[in-house]
Structure 1
Amino acid sequence: MLPGPTNVPNRVMNAMLAPVINHRSDDFRTLYKSIVEKTQKVFQTSNDIVLLTTSGTGAVEASVVNLIKKGDKAVIPVNGEFSTRLADLIDSWGGQAIRINAPPGENPPYDKFEEAFDKNKDIKALYAVYNETSTGTTIRYMDKLGQLASRKGAYFIADAVSILGGDELPVDKWNVDICVTASQKALAAPPGVSPVSVSKRAKKYMQENPPPTQYLNLKRYFKYYEEHFETPFTPALPLYYAFREALDMVLEEGMENRIRRHRICADAFYAGLSALGLTPFAKPDARSNMIIAVNYLPGMDDKKFRGLLSSEFKVLIAGGFGDLKGKVFRVGSMGEVGRYHVMRTISSIASAMNMLGVKTNPEATSVAMDKLKALG
């Protein structure tokens, strides 16, 4: 129950048993083309898709090095570890990150973005970490940010590493120029594949202004796909088979049903954990359906608590980052999450709390189960 990597269905794992093939063969071209087309459906886009053999961080870095040049201004909301990393990356690459700060667990007011564009007429891009993994915080006005960037002539970039495939993100409808995600989160595949969607406008810019880099140079990926349906470098072939199978499972379920399932499971987690006396870290209007971040109660030692969950109940959850270390714990509620995962996790948390001498409400599991009835 980590915020990633998440549980991987057996049929996805078994897909990696396929023979390793020549990545310059017709077999590979068929595989790659099918993955790109399925990824477009999941992203809800007609834009170009690049599949990078990297972690999500590699895809995020590609979104910066292919777009940002020295002195370019980029607006970005900063409210946690990963949005801070992205802002720092923009600065280190020579850009100028205009940070719109908010306390962890909150999002800045939308009008702060309007103000930033009014004060800076030469903003090139608006970056946003859609789901801040470190705090369980989701931006609930991404559509408005896309409209704003489009109206101002800026590029809109969505870091959707820990949310795409589990919550709403229609790339074309929301005017997202570059959208990045990773296989090991809500898409429920093994880590190592990071898809990137690129709009026609952003693609044209990248082709005319290629970055001084090799592996993350997206112009090379466009060229190889258009000319050969290939990648410029050797991809992680077994992971491609797994990723294709995971995409098939997403499409079989349907995005609307998948998003609904994630929302119901998140509601059950929040209700059940609240019944145990635990409070969510994120503010109500910013709470994630992918990562449930919860404040510790007095007497709950982070190391002991998570150690008990792991050793006694075989349930893995994550602790807090940086200043939040020892203050919160985080439960991943994404991918193949369902009734079993929610109920086992909440009952295990209740048992671990009791073992630590923290009194709990015995009705907490019933509260969660009531929410899960909506799954049918």
Structure 2
Amino acid sequence: MKSGKRSANYWANCVNTMQDHLLLTAGPTPISEEVKQILSHSMFYHRSEKFIQTYESVTHRLQYWLRTKNDVIILTGSGTAGMEATISNLFSPGDHVLVVENGKFSQRWSEIAEAFQLKVFRLVVPWGKSVGAEALVKNLTAIGSLKGIFLTHCETSTGALTDLEIIIPAIRHQTSALIVVDAISSAGILPLKPDDWGIDVIVSASQKGLGLPPGLAFVALNNRAWIFSEQSELPKYYLDLTRARQSFQLGRGALFTPAISLIFAADHVLSQIQQKGLENIWRERQSLAHQFRARLTELGLSLFPEIPADSMSVIKFEPSVNAKQVHAELKEKFGILVSRGQGQLAQKVIRVGHMTNIGEPELERCLSAIQTILSTKIG
């Protein structure tokens, strides 16, 4: 085979190899057979009446999924696109913002904000820990003219949960700053009630709680956030939330060409979620996480985060066990794909996702494999 060229058989073999693996990463999640069928349908024109109706349906169903009555804007891109859109549409150069950093993905808020020349104040929390209301109040009152507070509901690098239900009411009346939450690894999986709790902006995406391929980002904004958008002086074009909102309100659907197949798949999945009931799904995911962790305890293992989110289980190992090797053996010997530890946790933890389209049989298979691997290293 000549360099740079790949045959159809090559790609078919790649797909078959991946299909043989059990996907238990911290995102993306497995997709259902029904979604696969929808994604294989003939292409639609995104300005057709049928597609615009579906686009509107998805937008309204997302309000149910995110438990909000506020506007939800759909973007074509990953969750990071939603994060960048939030900053570029709602803030201006020099604005003071507070970012709670307790892992790799919460640090991304700081990186994006600094790229757009915002003045970032960091509340650094040790990896695996969760910020408390007292520490947050102390920091926000020390910052003058604070415009934004950025939180991460589930920090995917550590599995730590930020208890928004407790924290946000404690700070909501202490500041006029926008409260922005990354819910990419929590929406549709963990209890999330932005309107009740006082969250101004929620960012999420398609590849975790919805069980879809990556490619859609969602930004839900309340009226306070839209007022901030009118004052923003940062450049934006493709991720212009105001223009996207106007396009939707005028009945034109998406501002630019969207991920058409993903929109149809999202409509199907969101319809199923409504039929099942979001609260029932929250309870189901919680029960599954607790069962999995009880079995981990039986194996003598424990979790890394102090307050774990039920989206995933970040498993820590004794210093004598290299987590990177466990990760490699799960893949090579057992056909199980989990997520590696990141940064300072690279050799200390593995991250097992149990977000969507994953049940007891899949997690039991993972547990059995981990037990076998550890028996050869410790026994």
State how far apart, in whole Å, the 2-side matches of 1:22 and 1:141 are: 40
2:235 counterpart residue number: 212
Q: Sequence identity, in percent?
A: 29
1:342 counterpart residue number: 363
Please state how far the C-alpha of 1:241 moved relative to its aligned partner. Answer: 1.3
State how far apart, in whole Å, the 2-side matches of 1:228 and 1:139 are: 37
Please state how far the C-alpha of 1:150 moved relative to its aligned partner. Answer: 5.0
Q: 2:196 aligns with which of 163, 173, 197?
A: 173
- Kindly provide the CA deviation profile for residues 23-54 of structure 1, in whole angstroms up to 9, marking residues without a partner as x: 11211210100000110011111111111110
Q: What SS does structure 2 have at the residue aligned with 1:186?
A: coil
CA contact (8 A) 1:73 1:95 kept: yes
1:291 counterpart residue number: 312
Residues 147 and 245 of structure 1, relative CA distance in 2, 3 Å threshold: farther
Please state how far the C-alpha of 1:203 moved relative to its aligned partner. Answer: 1.7
- Kindly provide the CA deviation profile for residues 198-238 of structure 1, in whole angstroms up to 9, marking residues without a partner as x: 11221233245364121111111011011124111100111
State how far apart, in whole Å, the 2-side matches of 1:351 and 1:86 are: 39
Residues 72 and 210 of structure 1, relative CA distance in 2, 3 Å threshold: closer
- Kindly provide the CA deviation profile for residues 324-375 of structure 1, in whole angstroms up to 9, marking residues without a partner as x: 1111111011112222222121112112222x3324xxxxxxxxxxxxxxxx
1:19 counterpart residue number: 42
Normalised to the residue count of structure 1, the TM-score between the two structures is 0.90
Q: What SS does structure 2 have at the residue aligned with 1:179?
A: strand
Q: What SS does structure 2 have at the residue aligned with 1:162?
A: coil
Q: 1:112 aligns with which of 135, 155, 176?
A: 135
CA contact (8 A) 1:193 1:243 kept: no
State how far apart, in whole Å, the 2-side matches of 1:151 and 1:110 are: 11
State how far apart, in whole Å, the 2-side matches of 1:111 and 1:55 are: 33
More divergent stretch after superposition (306-315 vs 127-136): 306-315
Give the CA RMSD over aligned residues.
Answer: 1.6
Aligned pairs for 1:260-279 (under 5 A) are 260-279=283-302
Q: Show structure 1 runs of 4+ deviating over 6 A.
A: none
1:139 maps to 2:162: yes
1:93 counterpart residue number: 116
Paired residue type of 1:357 = K
- Kindly provide the CA deviation profile for residues 293-333 of structure 1, in whole angstroms up to 9, marking residues without a partner as x: 11122443334322221122221111111111111111011
CA contact (8 A) 1:149 1:155 kept: no
2:377 counterpart residue number: 357
State how far apart, in whole Å, the 1-side matches of 2:315 and 2:52 are: 45
CA contact (8 A) 1:268 1:342 kept: no
More divergent stretch after superposition (157-166 vs 343-352): 343-352
Unpaired runs of at least 5, structure 1: 360-376
State how far apart, in whole Å, the 2-side matches of 1:67 and 1:194 are: 17
Q: 2:271 aligns with which of 248, 262, 271?
A: 248
Aligned pairs for 1:64-83 (under 5 A) are 64-83=87-106
Please state how far the C-alpha of 1:271 moved relative to its aligned partner. Answer: 1.5
CA contact (8 A) 1:33 1:229 kept: no
1:51 counterpart residue number: 74
Unpaired runs of at least 5, structure 2: 1-23
1:301 maps to 2:330: no
State how far apart, in whole Å, the 2-side matches of 1:220 and 1:147 are: 34
Q: 2:59 aligns with which of 19, 26, 36?
A: 36
